[in-house]
Amino acid sequence: MNEAIPAAGKAVRQRLLVLYLGNASPDSPVVAWANYDGTGWPVDEAGECEQPPYPTALAAMRDGWRIVGFPPIHEPLPGREYETGHLHNEFILERLETVDVA
Amino acid sequence: MSPRDHLLSSKDMARFVAQGFLRFDELIPKDLCAEAIELFDRNAIQRVKYDHRPLYDCWPGLALREVFALPRVRGIVESLVGPEPQHDHYAIHTVAPQTKKGPNLHQDAEYDVRFEHFDVQVSIFFHDTPREMGGTLFVPGSHFRRVHESQIGRYHNIVGQVPTVCKAGTFVVWHHNLWHAGRSNRTDTMRYMFKVRINPTVKQLRLWDTADLHDPEIEKILGTGQPWYGQEGRLETMNRIRLWRALTGDPSFDIHTWLGRIENRPERIAEETLAAV
């Protein structure tokens, strides 16, 4: 990871890996994921990959990703305890990469 | 044979309740598939049309009318929404050759909080749809989730997602709230998918062939989760129990006492309490 001031013709860009886990603990299994890559790679489309990039958020941390978004434990509204909706347990991880710029 | 000879079984219905969709490979005869594609190629029918009218009155004189007159198709549709189904809208989804779609997972239309009533959508793949052609992606078991249309586009991949890779004539019928996405077409051929939304006009109660209603396999089907449910697997089973109760008219149906346990609010006063008063 390079967070020093980049050299001329270089810039630091952020890559985000968003992992949705089976429960609120970072060592629980990944059930969904997305990549948002500020270095210029196109955004993935739905259903592009069969296997998660890491089995857990903790495994991603051990590979150099830094957690920048740690989800609160989901607290349902009273009376809506049995409803399901969006995916909870959204862990946002980042890597900073130095890229060439014009 | 009449459509009544082609109704779904209770096990099929349980699979629909559990997964939110059923797929029937190569159900539509190839000659009708070719006629439908020819209609689409020459823009012979509107691309999208909304109106409420009897389903079987739609597309007079065209192959699409014949598709929905097929006894097996009618048996499937009528098992889910009943006799006299109503057309809601249709759309000819097209993805031009070498077109990238990007992430677009969504649930159709606006919030629809009906639970015991549901519409079905039918997707027909009239031509072979190999993986690189980008047939519709479905997320099994997502149909009970209350989300707002494309807000779920943030999720790119979900464990257990199913891209439709199929031969011509494949017919998928799905719950109106099922999460789905169109995908990129990396071939040099236009991709078509014909979709129709169908409304019930009767109460959705035991409309299928219920001869196997008490088959023990049904509880297993309804109790089998999806790999992406995580901690919410039991909540989704409770949703399925609630819908199965409504569809069968059996308020006592349960799996592992999960609903019965939380419904247990006894009012009977214990004899010992009464004796002590």
Answer whether residue B198 shows pLDDT above 80. yes
The residue extents of the domains of chain B are: 3-199, 211-263
- Round to whole Å and give the CA distance between B17 and B27: 21
Largest Cα–Cα distance of chain B, in whole Å?
Answer: 85
Architecture of the domain delimited by B3-199: Sandwich (2.60)
Query: Does A3 map to a domain?
Result: no
Nearest 5°: the CA angle B34, B40, B41 is 85
- Round to whole Å and give the CA distance between B47 and B9: 34
Choose among A33, A43, A82: nearest Cβ to B157.
A33
Q: What is the pLDDT of residues A34-62, one digit of tens each?
A: 999 999 877 778 888 889 999 999 999 99
Closest Cα in chain A, distance from residue B69 (Å): 34
How confident is the model over B175-189, as a mean pLDDT?
A: 96
- State residue B189's pLDDT score: 96
Q: What is the pLDDT of residues B85-126, one digit of tens each?
A: 999 999 999 999 999 988 899 999 888 989 999 999 999 999
How confident is the model over B161-169, as a mean pLDDT?
A: 97
Query: Does A2 map to a domain?
Result: no
Residue A2: helix, strand or coil by DSSP? coil
Reference B191, options B91, B277, B98, B78; nearest CA is B98
- State residue A35's pLDDT score: 93
Please give the residue range of the domain that contains residue A73: 10-100
Answer whether residue A3 shows pLDDT above 90. no
Residue in A closest to B146 by C-alpha: A85
C-beta separation of B124 from B171 below 8 A: yes
Answer whether residue A2 shows pLDDT above 80. no
Contact: B157, A49; criterion CB under 8 Å:
yes
- State residue A43's pLDDT score: 77
Contact: A45, B163; criterion CB under 8 Å:
no
Closest Cα in chain B, distance from residue A93 (Å): 15
- State residue B121's pLDDT score: 98
pLDDT > 70 fraction of chain B, expressed in percent and rounded: 100
- Round to whole Å and give the CA distance between B142 and A85: 9
Q: What is the pLDDT of residues B24-59, one digit of tens each?
A: 999 999 999 999 999 999 999 988 889 999 999 999
Helices and strands, counts by H and E, chain A: 1, 4
Closest Cα in chain A, distance from residue B163 (Å): 7
Answer whether residue B4 shows pLDDT above 90. no
Residues of B in Cβ contact (< 8 Å) with A33:
155-157
Residues of A in Cβ contact (< 8 Å) with B101:
45-46
Query: Does A20 map to a domain?
Result: yes
How confident is the model over A91-98, as a mean pLDDT?
A: 96
Q: What is the pLDDT of residues B200-258, one digit of tens each?
A: 999 999 999 999 999 999 999 999 999 999 999 999 999 999 999 999 999 999 999 99
- State residue B63's pLDDT score: 96
**A→B interface, C-beta within 8 Å:** 18, 20-23, 28-35, 42-50, 52, 82-87, 89
Choose among A33, A46, A84: nearest Cβ to B235.
A84
- State residue A4's pLDDT score: 66
Listed in sequence order, the residues at least 6 apart from B55 whose beta carbon sits closer than 8 Å to its beta carbon are B68, B77, B85, B86, B87, B196, B198
Residues of A in Cβ contact (< 8 Å) with B232:
84
- State residue B15's pLDDT score: 98
Answer whether residue A12 shows pLDDT above 70. yes
How confident is the model over B60-78, as a mean pLDDT?
A: 97
pLDDT averaged over every residue in chain A: 92
Q: Cα-flanking dihedrals φ and ψ of residue B99, to 5°? A: -115, 125
Contact: B163, A47; criterion CB under 8 Å:
yes
Model confidence at B135, pLDDT cuts 50, 70, 90, reads very high
Closest Cα in chain B, distance from residue A9 (Å): 30
Closest Cα in chain A, distance from residue B267 (Å): 22
Query: Does A4 map to a domain?
Result: no
